[in-house]
Homo-oligomer: A and B are copies of this chain.
Amino acid sequence: MKDIAREAGVSISLVSYVLNDKNTGRINADTAKRIKDIAKKLNYQTNQIARSLQNKKTYTIGLIVADISNFFYSYIAGFIEDEVNKYGYNVLFGSAYENPKRFMDLLKVMVSRQVDGLILAIPDGAEECISYVQSLSIPFVIIDREFPQFKGLNTVCLDNYRSSEMVVERFYELGCRRMAAIGLDNNLFHLSERNRGFSEAAAKLVGADNVTTVKVAENVLEEQVENQLRAIVYGNKVDSICFMTNKIAMAALPILLSWGIKIPQNLSVICYDEAEAYKLFPYPISYVKQPLKDMSIEAVRFLMETSQSKVLGVQRFPAELISLKGY
């Protein structure tokens, strides 16, 4: 800006006004044009750092996901990026890998970088991070997960309870009367709700004796999925099974395939989350689709309009049950 001012023979202030289209009414049109031309000639790009320091606004949204290389979060990241761009914002991202300490570190980095808002997928066991982020004056919204023990959190997530009720209802329509679900063994509330929705709806429709629900640990997922699957399919002789997360589905489906189990003749299967991979599976896979785009848009919209300090509360989005090849 100093260079532009010198070359145009005006003050830095004036350059600033012109380049930001402020005070346009009172500025000589010729001078304005001259300044703009020089700026273009010099290939001037605002130093956003300096501007941010003055404005106390960085036009940056911090996004902390569990793992950017997981397609669930990379989809979300893509939608969020597209959406914040519409408002002239950019995304600073980080993966916490479900690690509370790493999450806290990322949070502090985002804070020190003065992000204007945060979108957070908070890991299991990071409750103290919630208190911390609440103590900040940065607007934030929690995505995908729920923490009901904290009041007044702005949250965008799936209606998890209802989503697994839908799964059960579909199984029932298909004539299934012995249902199973494999879920993840952790304390994340949204996953408990999924499990609860399944168990309660299934018990009501076919009786608790005909419902099997098991949980597998994340760190030995492959191995436990195989063992549990064997017990459920060959032991309990169920006619339907729901994989409650996409990772479980990706571990379980190849095993069913290797056992020569036919879907849906031998077993009805419904998975959570949309995956391009289902296209490569030789049997039709129904799945619970989360409206990730709508959820992302809502999260961003809230942050952008939060200056009016509105409250979002917990927004639970309805799931959609998709039948890939119609069953």
Interface on A for B, CB 8 Å cutoff?
43, 45-50, 52-53, 58, 60, 67-71, 74-75, 77-79, 81-82, 90-95, 108-109, 111-114, 135, 250, 253-254, 257, 275-282
Contacts and interface: CB of A to CB of B under 8 A. Distances in A.
A49 B281 CA distance: 49
B279 A49 contact: no
Contacts of A281: 280-282
B278 A250 contact: no
B278 A47 contact: no
A78 B71 contact: no
Contacts of A250: 276, 279-280
B114 A49 contact: yes
A67 B254 CA distance: 28
Nearest to A105: B85
A276 B279 contact: no
By DSSP majority rule, is chain A's interface helix, strand, loop, or mixed?
helix
A122 B108 CA distance: 32
A109 B94 contact: no
Contact of A257 (B48, B68, B79, B282): B282
A58 B47 CA distance: 12
Given A74-B71, A94-B81, A46 B112 contact: yes
A93 B95 contact: no
A173 to B, nearest CB: 25
Given A92-B90, A257-B280, A114 B47 contact: yes
A221 to B, nearest CB: 13
Contact of A78 (B53, B81, B95, B109): B95
A259 to B, nearest CB: 12
Given A74-B69, A275-B277, A278-B280, A113 B48 contact: yes
Contacts of A78: 67-69, 95
A278 B78 CA distance: 23
21 contacts: A43-B135, A45-B112, A48-B112, A49-B52, A49-B113, A53-B53, A68-B77, A68-B81, A69-B74, A69-B75, A69-B78, A69-B79, A81-B93, A90-B92, A90-B109, A250-B276, A253-B279, A254-B279, A254-B280, A276-B277, A280-B280
A82 B108 CA distance: 17
Contacts of A58: 49
A182 B92 CA distance: 37
A53 B54 CA distance: 11
* Across the A-B interface, the 5 shortest Cβ-Cβ residue pairs: A277-B277, A74-B74, A69-B78, A280-B281, A45-B112
A2 B90 CA distance: 30
Interface centre among A48, A67, A92, A280 (most CB of B within 10 A): A280
A4 to B, nearest CB: 15
A2 to B, nearest CB: 15
B68 A74 contact: yes
Given A43-B135, A48-B112, A93-B93, 18 more contacts: A46-B112, A47-B53, A47-B112, A48-B114, A49-B52, A60-B92, A68-B78, A69-B71, A69-B74, A71-B74, A74-B77, A90-B109, A250-B276, A253-B279, A253-B280, A277-B280, A280-B280, A281-B281
